[in-house]
Amino acid sequence: MQATTNPDLAPRQASLMEELRRAEGELSGQDLHARLRGGPGAMGLATVYRHLRQLQQRGLVRCRHLPSGEALYAPTERDEHHLTCVDCGTTIVLTHCPVHDLRLPGEELDGFLPMYHTLEFFGLCSRCRKAQPPD
Ligand SMILES: [Zn+2]
Ligand SMILES: [Zn+2]
């Protein structure tokens, strides 16, 4: 499998990519399903998830799971990381990628072609920290 900047996508995958790129933040499968409904790119929810999985396998889409179990999707070209509160689920977007300049030593890659990375932080937001009873 080769990562290319302009992969030829199936029409449905192209609609999904377009919708994900247009979105300000991440989208769930349900969001995508709702946004495409009634338009030329409309497809069933199961089809949305099947194509999202294929886009993930091609390294074009990444998936993040919230503590609630909800899965959110975003294009991998958008290098974005989050702080997620395990208590209330609040998400804060980091303005910089903490590992952008990280280089993997070639000898460790053993021919592996990295396409994208994910890095998420989980903890307590300031509001939930204040709400915690003191020990
Ligand atoms: Zn919180
Ligand atoms: Zn990053």
Report CA(83)–ligand 1 centroid distance (Å). Answer: 10
Report CA(124)–ligand 1 centroid distance (Å). Answer: 5
Which CATH number does the domain 11-131 belong to among 1.10.287.40, 1.20.950.20, 1.10.10.10, 3.40.50.150? 1.10.10.10
pLDDT (tens digit per residue) in 7-60: 588 999 999 999 999 998 999 999 999 999 999 999 999 999 999 999 999 999
**CA 124 – CA 63 distance, rounded (Å):** 22
Query: pLDDT class for 113, splitting at 50, 70, 90?
Result: confident
pLDDT (tens digit per residue) in 71-100: 999 999 999 999 999 999 899 999 899 998
**Which residue bears the tokens 């409309």?**
42
Neighbouring residues of 43: CB distance < 8 A, sequence distance ≥ 6: 12, 15, 33, 36, 51
Which ligand approaches the C-alpha of residue 74 most closely? 2
Which ligand approaches the C-alpha of residue 123 most closely? 1
Contact assessment for residue 30 and residue 70, using Cβ atoms and an 8 Å cutoff:
no
What pLDDT, on a 0 to 100 scale, did the predictor assign at position 3?
43
State the sign of the Cα–Cα–Cα–Cα dihedral 121, 126, 127, 133. positive
User: DSSP H helical segments within the chain, as ranges?
Assistant: 11-22, 29-36, 45-57, 106-109, 126-131
What pLDDT, on a 0 to 100 scale, did the predictor assign at position 47?
97
Report CA(41)–ligand 2 centroid distance (Å). Answer: 30
* Entry pTM: 0.81
Q: For the chain, what are the domain ranges?
A: 11-131
Per DSSP, the three-state class of 72 is strand
What are residue 91's DSSP bridge partners? Answer: 84
Which ligand approaches the C-alpha of residue 79 most closely? 2
